[in-house]
A and B are shown apart, each in its own frame.
Chain A
Amino acid sequence: MKPRFVLRAENPWWRGPLLALLAAVVTFVVTAALIRWSGGNPIAAFRYMFVNPLQSKFGLTESILSATPLVFTGAAVALAFRVGYWNIGAEGQLLAGTIGATWFGLHAEGLSPVIAVPGILLAGATCGAAWALVPALLRARLGIDEVVTTLLLNPVALLVITGLLNGSWRNSETGFPDSDVIAESAMMPVVWPDTRVHLGLVVGIVVTLGCWWFIGRMTGGLRLRAVGLAPGAARIAGLQVERTLLTTALVSGGIAGMGGASEIAGVAHQLTIGISSGFGYTGVIVATLAALSFIGSLVVALMLGIINVGSFSASRALSIPSTMGEVVQSVLLIAVVAALVIQKYRIVWKRGSA
């Protein structure tokens, strides 16, 4: 018996939600077993992970704060994937964005916030796009696989940060390897009083909605989708495949870089080696879980933010590993990817055919 995947001709409305439910159930069952194995009570752990963060204002706003960079990287990855550019480099592009933002922030003394806040976002976006430039050129001009090049540039970005923080950007007061605090005028204002939720979230949502609008409503969006779905056919229809790839890759890098700026200007206010806890990589998970839908990626980003915050409290309360949150994310990713395949294809079992 061998499975064969056959494209489904039609998809009734109930199949998507049903498969989503199935993926969730599979995730719960598998992670429950792992939590049990590490000595915790799965039901209690799930309550800590998914319910508790939503029951207090602090939990909710910390979840939102934790989701903010994922909103940027999720949109960046979804946009690139839509054009068929497999950008695994959002991490490096985000880190490059933090460098640009820090540079701007350190030099923004005396500027009005009206200039400094957009300025720091722009600085981040520019550096993110610049970090995306070389792999994008290599792909568009020479056809060199971007998965490898974008991925391998991620640790390079971190090395650049390490170099800067041990060199010219070393903290002038403490001498520790983290930068000075940026100018106050370049810091993101808080948008939810008495919490840490800052303007970056609003910018991230606006950027994501912009992508959604562009893809669905604008001519450039249709071009982008056509190139992503069938580059050969797009070329025959006279579309400029390489240019579309290049532009989209740069915009994707820019969005990820802006996410870096949002972290610097909104939360950390200085550059540190641990500035990103894998936001770029998680962005790939966000985009994939959302099936490359932009509205969906907002929801998924918030969900992962909740799991993030929740898994820490679960780990503290039940003394299970704090990485259990990441385990949940990973299992969910596998379950959802499998569900997406099943949504698209019928599996036919056939005897012994090749």
Chain B
Amino acid sequence: MSSSTPSVLLREIRKAYGVTVALDGVTLELRPGEIHALLGENGAGKTTLMKTLFGLTQPDSGRIEVDGNATVIKSPRDARAAGIGMVTQHFSLVKTMTVAENLALSEAGLLRVDLAKARRTAEDAAARYGLEVPADTVVAELSVALQQRVEILKALAAGCKYLILDEPTAVLGPQDVDSLLGVIERLRDRESMSIVLICHKMKEVERVADRVSVLRRGALVASTVAKGMTTKELVTLMVGGDGAEPVARATAAVRESAAVVLAVRGVSVERALGGLDDVSFEVREGEILGIAGVSGNGQSELVYVLSGTLRADSGNLEVAGSVVTNATPSELLAAGVGMLGEDRHASAVHHLAVVENLVLDQLESVTRLGHLDRGAMAQRCETAIKEFEIKATPDQHLGTLSGGNMQKVLLARLFGRSPRVAIVSQPTRGLDVVSTRYVRSLIAGARDKGTAVVLVSEDLDEVLELADRVAVMYRGRIAGILHAHEVTRGRLGEMMAGVSV
């Protein structure tokens, strides 16, 4: 085996869920002793790709080679046998047991649980990599950072040479991030382990990554040496193209005269991780404000505040001039704010029929003397099915619909009540091309009818296609707001990377 043989090679991996292609023939190589950062927006296929490598999902086609040998990985057990370990965002520790017991458990034979050996493993790892864990403490009493260390230790104890870390720093504070990155570097340098780091934070990638690969909509769009790249260059790589030319788009006439319908003034949410810091912006009638940013910079929290599910610690929210700060979801609905959440499954009642889901936020309008007016509901449903091209029958349970059709039902509900403000978060995540195009046309259509739209999306193309103005979020702040005609990918990239403008 020559030194240029990649340690792990994923070749032409393809995976589709129904008509949605999650991975479209991705080829990725992981070289010996490198930290390989995997970037891309949520839903781009990073996690699916790594689950394939760890045996949690089976690809439709493609193959995996480990150390030059074709390897079939059907389960995490197979993966571990091939020397591959993974630390997911959801830990699999027995919380009521001690660290040593957890370690011993992960490699226990049928009869023996070797606690002494587990303790030795822990001490050894502490000495060699600075991976210190209190071996005799019950896991439930450990911080998230320490639990994560135990997970890494488990992988090491199992003799893994390749380690996949799925957004390990998302749950950590700054100091824990530091020490984790240190551990990763030592694992690379002293054990020449190869580590895949799925990450959204460019600063961390800049600090430790040797190489970087970018996935976009299920395809590998870049794979290159990361050493020496700046944060800005990394973001440019991620958003695609560094063109300084304005993004060609027929912008709607600037409607400076239109009334401000949504005003967000100085909204802050104080949290150790992922808060909001003095967020202010205004959205006018018939305007789409796009909110761009690398995942985890406060976009989700902003949507939660705007939908009444997260309390702002300070600041104000105004809809059409009346203050609705920290109003409940039903009060916001009454004020004319419509919502499409980032997780469509969390907004849909799967076991209720389409016809019932369609009116769930406007039940008063189909109620007569306390009873449901089934006739009116059916009529409304029929209209919506036709108008929004929903492929479903009224009585079908919503949970049995495809993602695209489910999204259309939720959009029909949202736009059916002609909201003054529509908050639309990741509207096309995970949708196929046809549905994506249709959903975007719906959003543009609502804007043209006068709705003020806040479009939160990690898909930069989507923001560029739809938004009249683009606000970029970075570390819980609005890094800047650009008019569509001022937008270039380069400038957005700088702002997303936190380079001040």
Binding site for B on A (CB under 8 A): 7, 9-10, 217-223, 225-226, 229-230, 232-240, 351-354
Contacts and interface: CB of A to CB of B under 8 A. Distances in A.
B280 interface: no
B75 A226 contact: no
Nearest 10 A-B pairs (CB), nearest first? A238-B330, A237-B361, A237-B360, A238-B333, A230-B349, A219-B367, A229-B351, A352-B75, A353-B75, A233-B349
17 contacts: A219-B363, A225-B352, A226-B356, A229-B349, A229-B350, A233-B349, A236-B346, A236-B361, A237-B413, A238-B328, A238-B329, A238-B361, A239-B360, A352-B74, A353-B74, A354-B56, A354-B77
B360 A226 contact: yes
Contacts of B30: none
B347 interface: yes
B400 interface: yes
A222 B361 CA distance: 11
B159 to A, nearest CB: 19
B446 interface: no
A219 B373 CA distance: 9
B372 A222 contact: yes
B352 A219 contact: no
B74 to A, nearest CB: 7
Given A220-B370, A235-B329, A352 B309 contact: no
A235 B349 contact: no
Nearest to A240: B330
Nearest to B77: A352
Contacts, number: 84
A9 B334 CA distance: 36
A352 B360 CA distance: 42
Interface string B44-67: 000000000001100000000000
A354 B76 contact: yes
Interface residues of B, number: 36
Given A229-B351, A239-B330, A222 B356 contact: yes
Given A218-B370, A233-B347, A239-B360, A351 B341 contact: no
Contacts of B332: 238
Contacts of A239: 330, 360
A338 B349 CA distance: 24
B348 A218 contact: no
Contacts of A225: 352
A246 to B, nearest CB: 16
Contacts of B76: 354
B336 to A, nearest CB: 12
A237 B337 CA distance: 11
B307 interface: yes
Interface in B157-197: none
A255 B282 CA distance: 52
Contact of A236 (B55, B329, B366, B370): B329
Contacts of A218: 370-372
Contact of B348 (A7, A222, A233, A240): A233
Contact of A230 (B74, B328, B350): B350
A219 B370 contact: yes
Contact of A235 (B75, B77, B309, B400): B309
Contacts of A233: 346-349, 360
Given A9-B400, A352-B77, A236 B371 contact: no
Contact of B349 (A9, A217, A234): A234
Contacts of B351: 229-230
Contacts of A10: 400
Nearest to A232: B346
B348 A230 contact: yes
A351 B329 contact: no
A236 B372 contact: no
B84 interface: no
Nearest to A344: B351
A291 to B, nearest CB: 13
A220 B351 CA distance: 17
A230 B347 CA distance: 9
A221 B363 CA distance: 11
A186 B201 CA distance: 73
B496 interface: no
B212 interface: no
B393 to A, nearest CB: 12
A230 B364 CA distance: 20
A119 B347 CA distance: 44
Nearest to B351: A229
Contacts of A230: 348-351
Nearest to A8: B400
A9 B396 CA distance: 10
A351 B360 contact: no
B339 interface: yes
B431 to A, nearest CB: 19
A236 B55 CA distance: 35
Contacts of B372: 217-219, 221-222
A351 B72 CA distance: 14
A108 B275 CA distance: 62
B142 to A, nearest CB: 23
A60 B413 CA distance: 52
Interface in B377-422: 399-400, 413
Contacts of B400: 9-10
A211 to B, nearest CB: 14
Contact of A226 (B307, B349, B366, B413): B349
- Residue from B74, B361, B363 whose CB has the most chain A CB atoms within 10 Å: B363
A220 to B, nearest CB: 7
A239 B328 CA distance: 10
A223 B307 contact: no
A229 B76 CA distance: 33
A229 B352 contact: yes
Contacts of A219: 363-364, 366-367, 370-372
Interface in B8-58: 55-56
Contacts of B371: 217-219
Nearest to B58: A353
Given A236-B307, A236-B339, A238-B361, 19 more contacts: A7-B399, A218-B371, A219-B364, A221-B372, A223-B363, A225-B352, A226-B352, A226-B356, A226-B360, A229-B352, A233-B348, A233-B360, A235-B309, A236-B347, A237-B333, A237-B361, A238-B328, A352-B77, A353-B74
Contacts of A9: 400
A161 B307 CA distance: 49
B75 to A, nearest CB: 5
Nearest to B92: A354
A237 B334 CA distance: 11
A351 B74 contact: yes
A222 B355 CA distance: 12
Nearest to B370: A218
Contacts of A240: 328, 330
Nearest to B340: A236
A222 B341 CA distance: 22
A106 to B, nearest CB: 37
Contacts of B361: 236-238
Given A217-B372, A218-B370, A219-B367, A234 B346 contact: no
